[in-house]
Amino acid sequence: MKKVNQNKNDNAANRNSYVGSIYNIGEKNIKTNVLNSLDPKWKQMHEKGYIHIHDLDAYGLTYNCLTFDLLNCFPYEKFKGYNSATTIILVFDFLKDLFEKMGNEQSGGMSLANFDNDLAEIFEKMDVNYIENEEIFKASISSLINWCSQTYTRMGQTSYYVTLNIGLAKNDFARFLAKTLINQFNNSGDLIYKPNIVFKVKEGINRNPKDKNYDLLMESLKCSSKKMIPTYLLCDSKMESDNNPELLSVMGCRTRVYENIYDTKGAVGRSNIANISINLPRIALETMENKSTESIEYNFDLAYKKWEEIAKITGDILVDRFNKTCLANKSFFPTNLAYKLWCKDMNINDLNEVFKNGTLSIGFIGLSEFVEILANQKYWINERVYQLTLDFVEKMRVFINELMYEKKLNFSLLATNGELISGRFVDLDKKTFNSRVFEKGFYTNSFHIEVDSLLPAYKKIELEGPFHQYSNGGSITYVELNEAPIGNEEGLKDLLEIAIKADVRYLGYNFKKDVCASCGVSGNFDVCSECKSVDIIRVRRVSGYLEIQDYFTKGKLYESKQRKKN
């Protein structure tokens, strides 16, 4: 192992390569051309940092992320004539190939909503018995894990954003696949940190000791205590309790797709088409410019009016992008055409009929700094300010719902992580304003409480929980632990229960994971406890995924170094 040099790219998942360097030149030019083609006011809002149009290079060419409808058109004929062992190997090779092709056909994450149940159904239809082929399955799943973690061929430089959702296993075959995925990942080594595995927690299935899959949940928590993965989709939370858990899925870092004003509800076969994030601290800075005597309530009202004005324009940009994407050439989607991974078949429908089932997300970042500017205090310290903050997010969601029916498209409110913009927005705001919120060098994720708050984990969960119900485009709550809680699965289970009761939808456990580049020992240290080397690889979470800290963007690097335990 060798420690890496810091990457100056905009994405922590990038690695330097010849092809990637050529791609980056083209990407930069395309982004400039796209911006120049937009309404000058839209362009100015992006360039000045009121908003950030994500994945500009994909504008009008493709959508963002997708939960595959794998069962819809699985190519069983490809695997006829082979024995069971060969079939297993070929199916997992097919999955890698599918992720690779789709990763270059869309701009964001790829997900399987029920890895355990779907794969069990596929193998059972091909008369493949897991009992007689355990070792082949273990080797194939281990190979898939290694491929996800170590392959950087997307755009010549980036890993594939793969998320595997598990936990609702219906039979012994599916339980075997879920357990094997967890155990192979757990034993895969300290520098294997992908794919993103999400465990769906649901009462009656795995949440309580009497539930059939409770043992899988505890195995999962054991793995999280060592690897920070899996993360947990809490299907009994207020937002999800009435929804079919089999249709729930996390795509990418946190993206949620469920409601649909057209046909199919749920995430399977549906996409988030695009998202734009709004810079909340900028709104607060302009609201408070040259004034200091009005009430906090007045400041919030004025700030909301400014947000609403920006959100209307943001909605127009997303509609423009949607319409242009619907005019894309179908030849850009050969894998979708072959395997019908969307809920609507691209072969027989025009793209508008397909993509209208996707979502358009308006995101927000820096709620914490926004409130600090408006109220001169942290939103989570004062009960009155906390309620004003929660009301503000609820009003944003109400606006999004109204926009959905006005535009007749599936708009959603996204609690943005903002890997790049956490630092970009600060740099732009510093050019015009002077504020103490710039001192740390980054804006805080979505509605998150500051990473150095030192609040107890339970308190952070309880305070962030109510914000999840309004963030129907996706959200997550993290707790930062002092060290890897190995052997304390019960403690993680206690935090998980607190999160469900607080209506947290999606939960992750973070802790510092340092690996000695010289001898491979892991822990939390600056000097290796075994060989005394100072050549340390630091694995941390960024944008929902784990990555090596040296590759983080500037804003996320600042954030990572200021994280304190809850």
| 16 or 168, which is more confident | 168
Q: What is the pLDDT of residue 7?
A: 47
**509 part of a folded domain:** yes
Split at pLDDT 50, 70, 90, the class of 551 is: confident
Q: At what angle do helices 457-468 and 383-407 cross, to 10 degrees?
A: 30
Split at pLDDT 50, 70, 90, the class of 269 is: very high
- CA 561 vs. chain centroid, Å, equals 21
As a whole-number percent, the residues of the chain with pLDDT over 70 amount to: 98
Closest CA to 553 of 450, 361, 462, 417: 417
Question: Which one-letter amino acid corresponds to residue 387?
Answer: Q
Domain that holds residue 434: 18-562
Q: What is the pLDDT of residue 263?
A: 82
The DSSP-derived string for 275-339 is: EEEEEHHHHHHHHTTT---S-HHHHHHHHHHHHHHHHHHHHHHHHHHHHHHHTS-GGG-HHHHHH
pTM of the model as a whole: 0.96
Taking the C-alpha atoms of residue 53 and residue 362, their distance in angstroms, rounded to an integer, is 10
The answer for 204, left when phi > 0, alpha when psi is -120 to 50, beta otherwise, is left
Residues in the chain: 566
Closest CA to 358 of 385, 309, 313, 321: 321
Structure tokens at 511: 């802790």
Q: Which helix (H) or strand (E) holds 48?
A: none
Question: Region 380-388: what's the mean pLDDT?
Answer: 96
For residue 129, what is the domain's CATH number? 3.20.70.20
Taking the C-alpha atoms of residue 61 and residue 80, their distance in angstroms, rounded to an integer, is 36
Question: Region 324-343: what's the mean pLDDT?
Answer: 96
Structural contact between residues 1 and 537, judged by C-beta atoms closer than 8 angstroms = yes
**Secondary structure of 454-477 in the HEC alphabet?**
CCCHHHHHHHHHHHHCCCCCECCE
Angle among Cα 212, 217, 220 to the nearest 5 degrees reads 145
Does the pLDDT of residue 513 top 60, yes or no?
A: yes
The residue assigned the tokens 């954003």 is 161
| 291 or 265, which is more confident | 265
Query: For residue 444, how many C-alpha atoms fall within 13 Å in the half-sphere facing its CB?
Result: 21
As a whole-number percent, the residues of the chain with pLDDT over 90 amount to: 87
**13 part of a folded domain:** no
The answer for 283, left when phi > 0, alpha when psi is -120 to 50, beta otherwise, is alpha
Taking the C-alpha atoms of residue 446 and residue 468, their distance in angstroms, rounded to an integer, is 10
The DSSP-derived string for 108-140 is: S-EEETTHHHHHHHHHHHTT--SGGGHHHHHHH
Closest CA to 446 of 267, 315, 255: 255
**76 part of a folded domain:** yes
Does the pLDDT of residue 8 top 80, yes or no?
A: no
- CA 417 vs. chain centroid, Å, equals 8
Q: What is the pLDDT of residue 9?
A: 56
Q: What is the pLDDT of residue 6?
A: 43
Taking the C-alpha atoms of residue 476 and residue 397, their distance in angstroms, rounded to an integer, is 17
Q: What is the pLDDT of residue 5?
A: 47
User: Which residue(s) pair with 111 in the sheet?
Assistant: 67, 163
Alpha helices (H) along 469-553? 489-501
Q: What is the pLDDT of residue 352?
A: 97
User: 369-381 in b/e burial notation, b at 16+ Cβ within 10 A?
Assistant: bbbbbbbeebbbe
Tell me how many domains the chain contains: 1
Taking the C-alpha atoms of residue 118 and residue 111, their distance in angstroms, rounded to an integer, is 12
